[in-house]
Structure 1
Amino acid sequence: MTFRAANATDRPALLELLTQASLLTDDLPDELSTFLLAHEADTLVGAAGLDLVGDLALLRSVAVAPDFRGQYLGHTLVEGVQEAALAHDFTDIYLLTTTAAPFFEQLGYEIIDRAAVPEAIAQTRQFSSLCPDSAIVMHQKLA
C-alpha cells in the first residue's frame, strides 16, 4: 500500500471511487493536492481530502474501496490529512456526514449544532447547498 498526495492525473480514478461510495463530486476542487490517496499497486483504493477555508479545514471525500474496508485504511487516511492540516497550522477541522458519524467519533470528532459552524465553513457549497440539512456536522480541534 502506498500513500501520496493527489494530482490532476488522479481525478478520473478519484471521481470513480467517490461515486462508488455515494459521495459528492460536484464540488471536487480543480487542485487536488490537499487529498491523500491510497493505492494498492496501480489501483486507487482510498482517499481523504481537505477543503481549506481561510484558517479552517473541511474534511471531505473519505472513501475506501469495498475490498479494503475494515483494515483501518480510513483511519490512516484521515489521520494523514489531519497531520497535513497541523503542519500548515490548521487546527480546526469540520465535516458533514449522513452515514459515518460513528466512524468519525472513533477518530475524536464531536457532533456539533449546525448553528455553531463558523461562517466560512457554512458558506462552502457542501454545507450551504450540496449536503442535506439532515447531515450531521462534526468538529475536531487538533491542537
Structure 2
Amino acid sequence: MTQIYFSETRHADDVLRLALDAAQLPTDELGGADQMFFSPSDDDGLIGFIGLEGDGTDRLLRLLIVLPTRLGQGYGRMLVERLEGVADDAVERLHHLTSGTGEFFRKLGYVDADRDQAPTFIAATAQFTSLCGPRATYLIKDLG
C-alpha cells in the first residue's frame, strides 16, 4: 500500500486556491483561525487537499480535492479515512456539504441529515450559509 504523508497547514496557500479554482469550488472564506487544511502526498507528489473547520465536538469536513491525475485510484477514500483518523478524540461528528449527490460520502458511512437540525456552529459557517447553497446535500458521520 502507498505511504501517504499528511502535511497540515493552518492557512490556505496559493496551491490550494489554484486547486479550488480548477475544481470550480469557492475560495471565499478560506484562512479562518478555526480551519486546517492537509495536503496529502506520497512518493509521486501531491495527491490533493482535505480540510476541517471548527474546534468543538462537531466539525465541518470543509473540502476534499483529489488532483485530476490521481482520480480513480482510491485516494479520495484514503484521504477521508485518514482525516477521520487524525481528528482528535474531542471530535464526535463530522459534517459535510456537497453540491453533488453525496453518494461517495454515503459509501464512507456519512448519512443524510436535516439542515434545520445542524449544530449552531455548523449552521453558521460560510459553507452552510452561502457557499454551498440551500440545495447542497448535508451529511453527517458519527465518529464515536
Tell me if structure 1 keeps the 8 A contact 2:50–2:63.
yes
Q: Secondary structure at the match of 2:40?
A: strand
Question: For residue 141 of structure 1, what is the aligned residue in structure 2?
Answer: 142
Aligned length: 142
Higher strand share: 1
- Give 5+ residue unaligned stretches, structure 2: none
| TM-aligned CA distance change 1:113 to 1:61, over 3 Å | same
Question: For residue 18 of structure 1, what is the aligned residue in structure 2?
Answer: 20
RMSD: 2.3
Question: For residue 68 of structure 1, what is the aligned residue in structure 2?
Answer: 70
Question: For residue 96 of structure 1, what is the aligned residue in structure 2?
Answer: 97
Give a deviation string over 1:57-94, Cα, whole Å, max 9, x none: 10012001111111111111111111121x34201110
**By how many angstroms is 1:4 displaced?**
2.1
Amino acid at match of 1:35: F
Amino acid at match of 2:96: L
- Give 5+ residue unaligned stretches, structure 1: none
Tell me if structure 2 keeps the 8 A contact 1:4–1:38.
yes
Question: For residue 109 of structure 2, what is the aligned residue in structure 1?
Answer: 108
Amino acid at match of 2:134: D
Q: Secondary structure at the match of 1:4?
A: coil
- How far apart, CA to CA, are the structure 2 residues paired with 1:10 and 1:52? 15
In the superposition, the TM-score normalised over structure 2's length comes to: 0.86
Question: For residue 119 of structure 2, what is the aligned residue in structure 1?
Answer: 118
- How far apart, CA to CA, are the structure 2 residues paired with 1:131 and 1:121? 13
Tell me if structure 2 keeps the 8 A contact 1:18–1:61.
no
Say yes or no: does 1:38 pair with 2:48: no
Question: For residue 6 of structure 1, what is the aligned residue in structure 2?
Answer: 8
Tell me if structure 1 keeps the 8 A contact 2:56–2:90.
no
| TM-aligned CA distance change 1:14 to 1:100, over 3 Å | farther
Tell me if structure 2 keeps the 8 A contact 1:113–1:137.
yes
- How far apart, CA to CA, are the structure 2 residues paired with 1:45 and 1:100? 23
Q: Percentage identity across aligned positions?
A: 32
